[in-house]
Amino acid sequence: MRIKSSLQGAALVASLALFAACEDSSRAFQPPEIGDGLIYTYPLDGTVDVPLGTKTLFVFSNPVDADAALAGCSEGADNVPVGSFCLIGPNGPVDTAAMTEIVNNGRTIQFSTDQLAQGTRYEVWLRESAAPGAVNLPEAAPLLSFRTRQSAPVPGQAPSVLAINQDSPDAFLEGSGREPRFPFMDFAPIRVTFSEPLAQKSVRLGETFSFVKILQDESGGVVGEEPVEVSLHTERHYISLQPLEDMEPGARYELRLTDAITDLGSEPLAPVTYRFLPENSKENPGDENPPIRQVLQTFPTVNDPGFPLPSRLSDLTLNQFNLVNDVLGVNQVDAFPDALEAWLVDPVRFPVETPILARAGQKLRLTGINPAKLSGEVDLNLNTGNITGVFFNNVTAYLLPNPYRPLGTNPDDDVAPLIAIMNFDLSMQGEDPAGNATFNQNLMHVQAPGVVTITDGTLNIELFTTLQFEVLGGASTINADFALGVRSDLAFVVDPQNPEGPIVTGSFPEDGDIGVETQENILLTVSDTLSHKGLDEVVLLNMDQGGTAVPIKVNRDGTTLVVTPLGELAPASRYELILPPSITDADLLNPLPLEFRADDALGGDGVLRFTTADYSRDNGVLVPPMLVNVYPGVGCALTDVNTQPGKAGRCINGLPTDVQYENFLYEIDTIMDVNFSQPMDTASMRPGTINAAGNACSNGAICIGEDVDGTWQNIPLTLHAENMAAQLFPEEGRIIEGGMYRLVVNGSGDTFRNHPDFGNLAVNTDPLGSINAPGGPNIIADFEAVQATSTIFATIRTRPFTDTNGNGFFDAGEFEALGNGATLIIDDTGGVITDADFSDPDKDKIFISGALPVGFKPIEPMDLGNPNLGMIPDGPGRWCTPPEVDANGDSVCIDTEGDFMTPVDVGTQIVLGTSVSLDATALVVPINGLATGGVILRIKPREEGPVVGYVINEAGEETPQFLLKLDAYLDAPDLEILGGLAASNLRSTEIGAYIKGPISFLNDGRITLDSTNITAISQSIELSLAEPGTAGPLDPVCGLPILGPILCGIVEPVLTFELGNIDLLINPGNFNIKVVNHPSRALRLAAPESE
Amino acid sequence: MSDKTFCVTSLVRLVAATLMLSLATPSVMAREVRDYRNDRPEYPGTNLIRRIFGENRLYFRAGATYLYPDLNTRSIELKNLSNIAEVAVEPGPQNGEAFSDPLLLFPSAIIGYVLPWGDGGWSVETLAALPPTLTLKIKGEIADVPLAEEAQGIPTGVPPLGSRVAETKALPPIVTLVKRFRMHSDFRPYAGLGLTYLYTYDSKVTNPVLTEFGRPDLDIENKFGWVAQIGFDYKIYRYWWANLDVKYVSVPKVRATMENTFISAPGLPQFQFVEVGDAEFVADLNNLAVHVGLGFMF
């Protein structure tokens, strides 16, 4: 009985226990396993316009197998490469080993695109073996592809549209069957990216392209169209249109591009029309913005808790960036905690890619480069101040699930983070006026993808992008990797302050300038980014034609207002560019009008006055143009080629004793260019094709070729013609390191010709023969392509200069540009010359004009006693010029600061000088009007190596100083004495001096080297019956066999006996050379080409 | 065979065995010689009980109990929130309170044992009943306003939770020491004090918002409480008594934790589901149990 009762009890207890144990607790939700894998890439698939030097990132949730990822790649069957990480270009796998590293605690493959080719599409293959365990890498297909930026023109190829809003243009092509990757919203700007830079004069809204709204009736029938008012930015290979009012959802808009748009080689775009059907972003009709307000602030910044915060994607620190380049060394900049107001479109309506809007006119700030130092050592006395980036078009962003995971994968911060993609156009500017002028620019069509993580109850976005800055007025570029940390928190406050309105801080030309070129951009540097307002009221008036308005195009690049006259300006005319007070800055919340202040660059009246160059010639003689720079090469036909090892020859009609030019070198990726002494006929400035013999160009004035098995093969060129210069762009990939090439400039036939107003004369390739003779032998310059070693490479031009018509004379219509000239003193006379004076006491000067390619090299330890300078050390940091260099036997000493100096290679080019006229007395015979004619100053090559000057910091000088021992040959080829009865020694006559002066930065952004001689220069004009080294009129006889040498051996000493001399002296400070880089900032602001 | 099937099968077998044993007992007793020496109630098993516990020791009052749970909410707190949940809601205390509906008259029995000392006025009692199912509800802001109305300004689309949150079965054994008075009277008032141990099982979240992706884990803390008791017995006939018993059962600071909660946020369509984090309710579980019963002394 007890047993049974016990059994009953046990059974009950067991029932209860089991009942309890069988509670259904297994129904808790288990999120699906996502697995490790790729979580982020930069760039995104299909990105175009990736600047070279960009770091590409491939970020995983799991560790990368470094050995596998860095093992390289080989070609496989069926175009499927073999390897874990492969970059495939047009020629197959690219050797990535030296450019790839594993960062971010082993989770990121980072690859630098430095060595890739411009304008080229690359595929990235990334397989599971690179990151074992990654579940989302394709084995048999590329992961993504991207295209590198094409900054240089492409020869022989018409421009095309590469992308619209970073999407395939086909997505906006009616009937293509392709839809946009991301929704096109009513607030979006239209960003059109082209395959190469465009000729900006050809990009004119309402003329060469249009953006219209198609008007439809209720049934959808087209009843008309109307132009859409936009804020327009066009530059390089970009067009951005921001409609001033949000577009009408559902309406049809069309962007029509015509074939009047051309590239810099004048090749036309194929006409095309794109249609846009904007989607509604608002909740209710009439709403100003999408419904969900967000406030985004850079976070964490320096003073925020949690700073410094390492990036989740790379080895960078959020909001602290290193601007690294060879010129300026490493400059660390920090982001300020600035807030942006953004608006999110209802995610329910756009559940996959949710659009986000940040209205134009908002800003982010960085600390700047303060001060800029060459290689981080040589102080340039230049500060950017804080750097501000203004979003001048609406920022269009999207929030989307991780694209590397299957659709529907729930976001996970570690293995499948949300992705944010920001597309924006940014205007960068510096706070400091001079720094701003050298730095401000637009960064166009930037795409910055980022990961969104959720911490501290907020959305935190880490955006990565590489921005390419142009610094020092475009003389150098910096690729800066930005890991921008942004936090979204409604508690942040958007600062509505806008402290002051914009002012004009600089202009090119300067207010009141004379001698301004007739085909040139007009630039106004402003202290803040400008809105579109008032720009259509900017007028350029020809005051000598009763204030006639000149057609212009107005564009904005950073804070630079670029005014491009659509036609050539009239010479010798007064112009006024008038800025209306309706111009405002681009501030979103509190835009302020342009302020006119007495201390601004326009004197407070908002009018830029200038006078164009007067090209009239006093003597009426037509003079051909000279090539004052040929890079690579020199602007004269050469002789004695291949007679000395390592030498390229010498100019014909110099002396056989001339030091020959060093073999010409071309630094890869620098701009080849030629500069002229006169305005040119741009129609004649066409690239040609080298002939098989390699000694002439057909169908064009200039050509480049390479010797292939004894036959010269042409390398196609694009030529961008300017008023007095042309830039050459060889076909991509044809100039390779170590290769030997040839540049030919025709001296006759198809060759460069000067402006029709100047006689349309052929370029003078033999200036030492005569400045007045057009044409000449072809210039043939063989050059070797070498890896770029210059940190800055630019062709700098003498500006301002006097001889604007380039005839070798200081004409009445020209002005004294003392910055580029020498004031002469007649120091003595001798022999039969008993007296001498300047024919016109006011014309005791030689004015020079030229252009020099210069390359700034990496810094070296301070040593002014090196062979390039030859100065004498005189105690610590003190160096003196050797007395023998100075005509007066003086020595000048310099106290240097710092331990380093920056070498600057100076091209050995030809400089044109104006004639001086003397009245002399030979015994009792007056010789009046003894004019030298135009003189040629050739920078003398060194016996070995390039001509090198140095940038130094000098005690007591705020600005860095450029120091050069300048040796030159002086020639006066057209000096005629007594109707040819007498001759002079002014042929390859050597002069030399130390020149020194500050490097400074103009308020229009140009770098200036303003040097003067610190040692005295003397030159004696020696008169004889025949030129030294010749037998004068008997020269032909000297060539006769046997008799010739005997006869000439007798008569030459007689004929060349010095009859008399006039000694000229240039005292220290009286020879000035002021050179500046062109404000084109490479091709960013390409000077207009005449039509 | 699945675990669940196995459990059900085992339960069926055990219950069947128990019933068979129970049914078998009267037939066994029927064969025994009946003891008529007194008039105590004779039912199957009563003598067995008397043999085990002795005469006049064990008593019962079978009847019904009315249970009025009074939850005194001390705190409702969200903690260990997931990152995404933190965007939408602040962790920490929430406004609102929990409650449970009263349970009307469920069968129950008081079983007591008369202690051998004193004059028989001391006894130990317990209340036996099938475990009641408590429906846990909430009211106030936490019920009426979406917990996460917006995430970073983005409407989440998460609806208010509403009232119904969870249910649980409670097995609160109660043991009280009872002192009866007027032991020679037919009307015997009594009072008692004792302990209870709140044991819950089969706790589950029933809120439709919280269960869209599966049931979150709900853990209700098992803990001791105290019991105060008054009542009276009234003799109806010989050994038969009726009684009215009122107990105040208090289990203070009962902690209930909900974990592994995933909800849908239609306003955040990029999230297929949103992990929430933990919710912790702390409440004093105060119950008023009124029992009316009829029984006899073995």
A459 interfaces chain B, CB cutoff of 8 Å = yes
CATH of the domain at A88: 2.60.40.3710
Residues 6 or more apart whose CB falls under 8 angstroms from that of A144 comprise: A41, A43, A44, A45, A46, A123, A124
The reply to whether B270 touches chain A by the CB within 8 Å rule is yes
A947/A662 Cα distance (integer angstroms): 10
A821 in the same domain as A706:
no
Could you tell me if the ipTM is greater than 0.90? Answer: no
Sign of the alpha-carbon dihedral angle for A17, A19, A20, A26:
positive
Residues A755 and A680: beta-carbon distance below 8 Å: yes
User: CA-to-CA distance for A944 and A937, rounded, in angstroms?
Assistant: 20
Q: Is B41 on the interface with A (CB under 8 A)?
A: no
Cα–Cα distance, B250 to B248 (Å, whole number): 6
Instruction: Count the neighbouring beta carbons within 10 Å of the beta carbon of residue A893.
Output: 13
The answer to whether the CB atoms of A28 and B84 lie below 8 A apart is no
Computed over every residue of chain A, the mean pLDDT equals 92
Chain B hits for A347, Cβ within 8 Å: 154, 267-270
Give the DSSP H or E segment for B198: strand B187-198
**What whole-number distance in Å separates Cα of residue B60 and Cα of residue B298?**
8
Greater pLDDT, A757 or A1085: A757
* Strand A238-243 with A190-194, pairing: antiparallel
- Asked if B92 is an interface residue toward chain A (Cβ–Cβ < 8 A), one would say no
Q: Is residue A713 part of a domain?
A: yes
Report how far residue A239's alpha carbon sits from residue A233's, in angstroms, rounded to the nearest whole number.
Answer: 6
> Which whole-number Å values give the CA distances from A334 to A312, A318, A468, A1086, in the listed order?
18, 9, 17, 32
**Do residue A784 and residue A830 come from a single domain?**
no
Using DSSP, state whether A527 is helix, strand or coil: coil
Q: What band does A1090 get if pLDDT is binned at 50, 70 and 90?
A: low
Residue A831 domain flag? yes
Whether residue B153 is predicted with pLDDT greater than 90 in this model: the reply is no
Residues β-bridged to residue A390? A363, A427
Contact by Cβ (8 Å): A770, A735: no
Instruction: Identify each DSSP E strand in A942-1087 by its residue range.
Output: 947-954, 961-971, 983-984, 989-1001, 1007-1013, 1017-1024, 1060-1066, 1071-1077
Angle at A367 between CA A362 and CA A372, to 5 degrees: 130
Picking from B270, B271, B273, B276 by the largest number of A CB atoms within 10 A of its own CB, the best residue to mutate is: B270
Q: What is the pLDDT of residue A894?
A: 97
Of B86, B217, B260, the CB nearest to A457: B86
Q: Which residues of A touch B271 (CB under 8 A)?
A: 410-411
- Please name the residue of chain A whose CA is at the shortest distance from the CA of residue B218: A25
Q: What percent of chain B has pLDDT over 70?
A: 87
Burial class (CB in 10 A: 0-12, 13-18, 19+), B16: exposed
Per-residue confidence at B31, pLDDT binned at 50, 70, 90? very low
Query: Which of A432, A464, A488 is a domain's end point?
Result: A488
**Pairwise pLDDT comparison (A207 vs A1079), residue with the higher score:** A207
The answer to the question of residue A1047 being in a domain is no
> Among A18, A410, A459, whose Cβ lies nearest the Cβ of B10?
A18
Pick A1025 or A58 by higher pLDDT: A58
Q: For residue A1049, which phi and psi values (nearest 5 degrees)?
A: -65, -25
Q: Are residues A132 and A224 in the same domain?
A: no
The answer on A512 and A443 residing in a single domain is no
Q: At what angle do helices B3-30 and A2-21 cross, to 10 degrees?
A: 160
How many contacts, defined by CB atoms under 8 Å, are there between A and B?
Answer: 110
Residue A565 lies in a domain: yes
- The beta-carbon neighbor of A27 closest among B152, B214, B270 is B214
Q: Are residues A166 and A130 in the same domain?
A: no
Digit-coded pLDDT (tens) for A509-530: 999 999 999 999 999 999 999 9
Supply the pLDDT for residue B147.
83
Handedness of CA A170, A172, A178, A181 (dihedral sign): positive
Beta strands (DSSP E) in A638-678 are 638-639, 647-651, 661-662, 664-667, 672-676
**Amino acid, single-letter form, for residue A614:** D
Picking from A693-697, B33-37, B152-156, which range would have the lowest pLDDT averaged per residue?
Answer: B33-37
In angstroms, the CA A376 to CA B196 distance is: 80
Q: Is residue B86 within 8 angstroms of chain A, CB to CB?
A: yes
Distant-in-sequence, close-in-space partners of B222: CB < 8 Å, separation ≥ 6: B197, B198, B199, B200
Closest-CA residue to A1086 (of A509, A427, A521, A516)? A521
Q: How far is the C-alpha of A438 from the C-alpha of A104, rounded, in Å?
A: 35
CA pair distance A1025, A1021, nearest whole angstrom: 13
Three-state DSSP class for A727? strand
**What is the number of domains present in chain A?**
6
Per CB-CB distance under 8 Å, the chain B contacts of A458 are 87, 152
Taking the CA atoms of chain B, what radius of gyration do you get in angstroms? 25
- Report the alpha-carbon distance of residue A829 to residue A1065 in Å, rounded: 12
pLDDT at residue A24 tops 70: no
Output phi, psi for A541, to 5 deg.
-115, 140
Q: Which 254-313 residues of chain A touch chain B by CB within 8 A?
A: 292-294
Locate the domains of chain B by residue range. 54-296
Select from A915, A905, A962 the least CA-distant residue to A939.
A905
Judging contacts by C-beta atoms under 8 Å, the chain B residues touching residue A21 are: 7
Asked if the Cβ–Cβ distance from B48 to A401 is below 8 Å, we say no
Same domain, A949 and A850: yes
Cβ pair B48:A11 closer than 8 A: no
Last residue of a domain, one of A612, A627, A645: A612
A1045 part of a folded domain:
no
CA dist B59 → A195, A608, B112, B186, B244 (Å): 100, 114, 5, 15, 15
Indicate the residue among A207, A241, A276 that finishes a domain.
A276
- Of A893-907, A972-986, B172-186, B212-226, least confident by mean pLDDT is A972-986
A347-A353-A359-A360 Cα dihedral, nearest 10 degrees: 180
Torsion of CA A435, A436, A439, A441, to 10 degrees: 180
pLDDT in tens, A987-1031: 899 999 999 999 998 888 888 999 999 999 998 888 888 777 776
Give the model confidence (pLDDT) of A735-777 as tens digits.
999 999 999 999 988 999 999 999 999 999 999 999 999 999 9
Cβ atoms of A478 and A472 within 8 Å: the answer is: no
Helix (H) or strand (E) holding B233: strand B223-237
Task: Answer yes or no: do A807 and A719 share one domain.
Answer: no
A661-670 b/e with 16+ CB inside 10 Å = b?
Answer: bbbbebbeeb
State how far the Cα of A117 lies from the Cα of A52, in Å rounded to an integer: 8
Counting Cβ atoms within 10 Å, is residue A245 exposed (0-12), middle (13-18) or buried (19+)?
Answer: exposed
- Phi, then psi, of A1037 in degrees rounded to 5: -70, -30
Instruction: Categorize the per-residue pLDDT at B20 as very low, low, confident or very high, splitting at 50, 70 and 90.
Output: very low
E-strand ranges in A893-946 read: 893-906, 910-913, 917-922, 925-931, 935-939
Whether A838 and A915 share a structural domain: yes
Nearest-CA distance A340 → chain B (Å): 15
Range of the domain at A44: 38-148
In this predicted model, what pLDDT tens digit does every residue of A577-592 receive, in sequence order?
999 999 999 999 999 9
Closest residue by Cα to residue A184 from A272, A249, A256? A249
Which A residues, 471 through 490, put their C-beta within 8 Å of a C-beta on chain B?
Answer: 488-490
pLDDT of residue B38: 54
Q: Does B189 touch chain A (CB under 8 A)?
A: no
A315 with A442, same domain? yes
Placement of tokens 């001086």 in the chain: A916
Residues from chain A that touch B216, judged by Cβ atoms under 8 A, are: 28-29
Nearest Cα neighbor of A459 from B94, B263, B270, B143 is B270
**Same domain membership, residue A580 and residue A474:** no
Q: What share of chain A is helix, strand, coil (3-state, %, to 5)?
A: 10, 45, 50
Judge whether residue B13 has pLDDT over 80: no
Residue B28: closest C-alpha in chain A: A1
CA count, 13 A, side-chain hemisphere, A548 = 9
- Do residues A637 and A769 make contact, with C-beta atoms less than 8 angstroms apart? no
For chain B, the helix, strand and coil percentages under 3-state DSSP, each to the nearest 5: 15, 55, 30
Asked if residue A457 and residue A360 are part of one domain, the reply reads yes
Instruction: List, for residues A554-572, the tens digit of each pLDDT value.
Output: 999 999 999 999 999 999 9
Residue A64 in any domain: the answer is yes
Q: Any residues with CB less than 8 A from the CB of A497 and at least 6 apart, and which?
A: A590
Residue A175: give its domain's CATH number.
Answer: 2.60.40.1220
3-class DSSP assignment, residue A879: strand
Does residue A931 sit in the same domain as residue A1077? yes
Picking from A820, A875, A876, the residue whose alpha carbon sits closest to that of residue A850 is: A820
CB contact (8 A) between residue A20 and residue B201: yes
- d(C-alpha A686, C-alpha A87), whole Å: 37
Q: Cβ contacts of residue A375 below 8 Å, gap of 6+?
A: A326, A327, A328, A329, A791, A858, A859, A900, A902
Q: Tell me: the pLDDT tens digits for A250-308? A: 999 999 999 999 999 899 999 999 999 999 999 999 999 999 999 999 999 999 999 99
Q: How far is B34 from chain A (nearest CA, A)?
A: 16
Total number of residues shown for chain B: 298
Residue A798: Cβ within 10 Å count: 26
Confidence (pLDDT) at A993: 96
- pLDDT value of position A316: 95
The fold of the B54-296 domain, in CATH, is Porin (2.40.160)
Helix B46-53, helix B3-30: angle, nearest 10: 90
